[in-house]
């Protein structure tokens, strides 16, 4: 069964089709391995829930093929700006902000890349993600940025990270759970740059972490609690369809229901929201990556089920589903 047929094996209606959603994390690409552009995004965001705005996050798509190496990622921002402009003129969610990539190890010299991305983003560029996801196990694949261990502690990286904040931009942090303490150290040392931690802090469930979910929690939760002490940090609540989290959604004979997804992730999501507060958490899709685990409608139904179970108020839900993302990424209303 191919992935599309597998996803269609479980079809749900949106639990609350009117609840306003800003999806703060998705990708776009046209790779040899697959295409996910505006039509595919709108097919997912328009499948039942009220998704009004989205935020694109870098994925090394459409880099420039020539010119200085450090400026080539500007091509991705320019490519997404074009998709964003199309999104305004079509019936569907608007791509309202762009998170690109710039090599922060260039220190203060990263300023020219950030300025070029800002110019290329047509008013939508908000910041960068320089992923540092790395683990000592050869069973865990590193980030596409090929980071060295301990990247966040390097002086040149910290200089570039500080420059990012000085220029009014934010940082998306993608790492694995044993590395979150490194982020705590970074934001304590360089507090002027707004940060959002992606994907619940990367709780791995494969390789040496397979079958060790409680041990992973015992490492991640204290780190999240320490991170929450720093007010400039928010968290994206999602990434829960990724196979590297080891919950096995992609191995089910039929695509999971939202009840199943919610049962697997409610405890971890509620801990995150209770630790940071709804005003510093945002539900995300991470599509199409999380599409390996469930459909878009099932994913947001799971979030709505968890919110119902937790008894969060209307104002708390509004923060989680749209408000926190709008504030962090400085989004206007469509």
Does some domain include residue 142?
yes
Write out the two tokens for 280. 């510093």
Our count of domains for the chain comes to: 1
- Based on DSSP, count helices (H) and strands (E) in the chain, helices before strands: 11, 10
Residue-wise DSSP of 24-48: EEE--EEETTEEE-HHHHHHHHTSS
pLDDT band for position 333 (cuts 50, 70, 90): low
**How many percent of the chain have pLDDT more than 70?**
99
241 - beta bridge partners? none
Residue 319 DSSP code: I
Q: Provide the CATH number for the domain around residue 148.
A: 3.20.20.140
Least confident of 259-263, 273-277, 330-334: 330-334
pLDDT band for position 1 (cuts 50, 70, 90): low
pLDDT at 2: 77
Does some domain include residue 144?
yes
Q: What is the pLDDT of residues 77-116, one digit of tens each?
A: 999 999 999 999 899 999 999 999 999 999 999 999 999 9
Does some domain include residue 193?
yes
pLDDT at 208: 97
Provide the 3-class DSSP secondary structure of residue 62: coil
In whole angstroms, give the CA distance from residue 242 to residue 21.
Answer: 21
Does some domain include residue 40?
yes
- This prediction has a pTM of 0.97
Full residue range of the structural domain in which residue 33 is found? 3-329
Q: Kindly state the average pLDDT of the residues 160-189.
A: 98
pLDDT at 292: 95
Neighbours of 262 (CB within 10 A): 22
Does some domain include residue 334?
no
Contact 173, 195 (CB under 8 A): yes
Q: What is the pLDDT of residues 32-82, one digit of tens each?
A: 989 999 999 999 999 999 999 999 999 999 999 999 999 999 999 999 999
In whole angstroms, give the CA distance from residue 330 to residue 332.
Answer: 7
In whole angstroms, give the CA distance from residue 185 to residue 63.
Answer: 32
Does some domain include residue 8?
yes
pLDDT at 3: 86
Main-chain phi, psi angles of 52, to 5 degrees: -105, -30
Contact 11, 257 (CB under 8 A): no
Write out the two tokens for 266. 């409610």
Does some domain include residue 39?
yes
Mean confidence (pLDDT) of the chain: 97
Does some domain include residue 70?
yes
């Amino acid at each position: 069964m191919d992935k599309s047929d597998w996803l269609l094996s479980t079809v749900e209606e949106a639990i609350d089709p009117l609840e306003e959603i800003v999806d703060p994390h998705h990708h776009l690409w046209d790779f040899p391995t697959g295409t996910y552009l505006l039509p595919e995004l709108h097919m997912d965001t328009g499948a039942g829930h009220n998704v009004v705005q989205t935020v694109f996050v870098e994925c090394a798509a459409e880099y420039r093929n020539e010119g200085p190496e450090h400026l080539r990622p500007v091509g991705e921002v320019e490519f997404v700006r074009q998709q964003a402009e199309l999104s305004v003129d079509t019936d569907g969610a608007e791509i309202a902000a762009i998170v690109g990539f710039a090599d922060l190890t260039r220190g203060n010299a990263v300023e020219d890349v950030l300025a070029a991305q800002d110019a290329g983003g047509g008013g939508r560029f908000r910041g960068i993600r320089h992923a540092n996801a790395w683990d000592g196990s050869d069973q865990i694949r590193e980030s596409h940025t090929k980071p060295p261990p301990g990247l966040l502690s390097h002086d040149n990286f910290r200089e570039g990270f500080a420059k990012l904040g000085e220029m009014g931009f934010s940082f998306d942090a993608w790492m694995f759970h044993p590395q979150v303490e490194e982020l705590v150290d970074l934001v304590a040392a360089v507090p002027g740059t707004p940060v959002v931690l992606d994907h619940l802090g990367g709780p791995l469930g494969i390789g040496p972490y397979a079958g060790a979910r409680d041990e992973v929690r015992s490492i991640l939760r204290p780190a999240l609690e320490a991170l929450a002490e720093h007010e400039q940090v928010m968290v994206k609540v999602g990434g829960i369809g990724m196979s590297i989290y080891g919950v096995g959604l992609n191995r089910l004979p039929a695509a999971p229901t939202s009840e199943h997804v919610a049962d697997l992730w409610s405890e971890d999501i509620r801990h995150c929201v209770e630790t940071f507060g709804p005003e510093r958490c945002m539900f995300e899709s991470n599509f199409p990556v999380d599409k390996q685990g469930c459909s878009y409608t099932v994913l947001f139904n799971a979030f709505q089920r968890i919110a119902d179970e937790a008894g969060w108020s209307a104002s708390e839900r509004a923060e989680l589903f749209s408000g926190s993302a709008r504030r962090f990424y400085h989004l206007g209303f469509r």
